């Protein structure tokens, strides 16, 4: 039987890092502010830590999918979108109603 667990669903606003390859003339450009949404896995405590977000979590094995690590120094802000968001629920047996919707 799988356990039911919940996580904070957050949006992180952060400055993107860039890299190019090959020889080119340097031109100063504006930074991009990226918005990333995901389950909060870990919050940075020290300057050298990362904010870690994930796309999915398997409560039975405590494994994560789609991990994103954002350096603390690049974070502009973090907003909690949903507190206690379930990462998954056990699938119920299908009913005779084939148009049954999944809980949102």
Over residues 33-92, the pLDDT tens digits come to 999 999 999 999 999 999 999 999 998 888 999 999 999 999 999 999 999 999 877 777
**Per-residue model confidence (pLDDT) at position 1:** 43
Tens-place pLDDT, residues 2-34: 457 899 999 999 999 988 899 999 999 999 999
Grouping H, G, I as helix, E, B as strand and the rest as coil, residue 33 is strand
| pTM recorded for the entire structure | 0.78
84 and 6 Cβ atoms separated by less than 8 Å = yes
pLDDT of residue 52: 98
Out of 3.40.50.300, 3.30.450.20, 2.60.450.10, 2.30.30.520, which CATH number does the structure's domain 6-17+32-82 have?
Answer: 2.30.30.520
**Domain chopping of the chain, boundaries:** 6-17+32-82
What are the respective helix, strand and coil percentages of the chain, to the nearest 5? 5, 45, 50
């Amino acid at each position: 039987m799988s356990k039911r667990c919940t996580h904070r669903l957050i949006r992180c606003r952060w400055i993107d890092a860039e890299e190019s390859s090959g020889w080119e003339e340097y031109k100063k450009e504006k930074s991009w502010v990226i918005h990333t949404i995901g389950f909060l896995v870990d919050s940075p405590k020290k300057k050298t830590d990362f904010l870690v977000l994930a796309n999915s979590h398997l409560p039975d094995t405590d494994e994560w999918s789609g991990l994103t690590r954002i350096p603390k120094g690049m974070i502009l802000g973090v907003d909690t979108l949903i507190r206690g968001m379930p990462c998954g629920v056990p699938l119920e047996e299908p009913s005779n109603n084939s148009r049954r919707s999944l809980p949102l």
